[in-house]
């Protein structure tokens, strides 16, 4: 139980630090959140919990493929907001776009030999 609490607290601290830094320096905040800190932490936790190299390799490869459909959201949201779309609507549209792209990734990847 303590292990779960430590994992949650450490992950939460990273998010809190990134959001506080972004308030003062948006570019530095963006750099922090663009770092694969959550992915690295997840790999550390997975390795600690299982010690299974094949599972970790599968997780890391799948993470790569799932990052790709999330990237367009980071272009769509600022584009919409700069063209007069409100934050919540742009965020919702960006999330819908990402869900659609994730769905396509899940459907198409196995057909082209990508293991997720």
The domain of 84 spans 53-116
- Give 21's Cβ-side CA count (13 Å radius): 13
pLDDT in tens, 42-51: 899 899 999 9
State the Cα torsion 80-35-5-52 to the nearest 10°. 120
Q: What is the pLDDT of residue 21?
A: 92
In a domain, 85, yes or no: yes
Instruction: Match 């659609």 to its residue by tokens.
Output: 100
Q: What is the pLDDT of residue 71?
A: 96
In a domain, 12, yes or no: no
Domain count, the chain: 1
Record the pTM.
0.77
């Amino acid at each position: 139980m303590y292990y779960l609490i430590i994992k949650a607290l450490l992950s939460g601290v990273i998010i809190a630090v990134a959001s506080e830094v972004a308030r003062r320096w948006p570019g530095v905040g963006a750099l922090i959140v663009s770092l694969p800190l959550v992915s690295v932490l997840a790999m550390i936790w997975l390795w600690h919990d299982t010690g299974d190299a094949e599972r970790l390799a599968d997780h890391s490869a799948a993470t790569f493929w799932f990052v790709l459909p999330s990237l367009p959201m980071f272009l769509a949201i600022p584009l919409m907001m700069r063209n007069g779309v409100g934050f919540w609507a742009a965020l919702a549209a960006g999330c819908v776009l990402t869900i659609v792209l994730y769905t396509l990734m899940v459907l198409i990847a196995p057909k082209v030999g990508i293991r997720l």
